[in-house]
Amino acid sequence: MSIDQFVNEIQNRKKNDLVNLDKKLSDKKSEIDAKKNSAVKDLKENYANEAKTKAEREGARIVEAGKLEAKKILFDAINKNLDSTFDVIKKN
């Protein structure tokens, strides 16, 4: 085998190795991108669900606070009504 053939064979192996390495690199990049996109999607879903849950909880808290305030107002009105009724009864 002559030196030129040997050099050509080495260069061909080098080219083939580079092609294989480029293919492996692109495969790894694709795999990493897929994992990244999946992780980002999962995080978005988790945070969206968490935000929805917190919003619902806060909404329920506000509604319950409003109901409690309404009950306090009603209770105060009933107390005033009873006080005025007792005053009328005491006067009679």
Q: What is the pLDDT of residues 62-92, one digit of tens each?
A: 999 999 999 999 999 999 999 888 888 888 7
Whether 49 shows a pLDDT value over 90: the answer reads yes
CA distance 21 to 29: 12
Whether 30 shows a pLDDT value over 80: the answer reads yes
Displacement of CA 61 from its chain's centroid (Å): 21
Q: How confident is the model at residue 1 (pLDDT cuts 50, 70, 90)?
A: low
Residue 8: what residue type? N
Would you state the structure tokens that stand for residue 68, as one six-digit string? 């409690």
Digit-coded pLDDT (tens) for 50-66: 999 999 999 999 999 99
Question: Who has greater pLDDT, 83 or 34?
Answer: 34
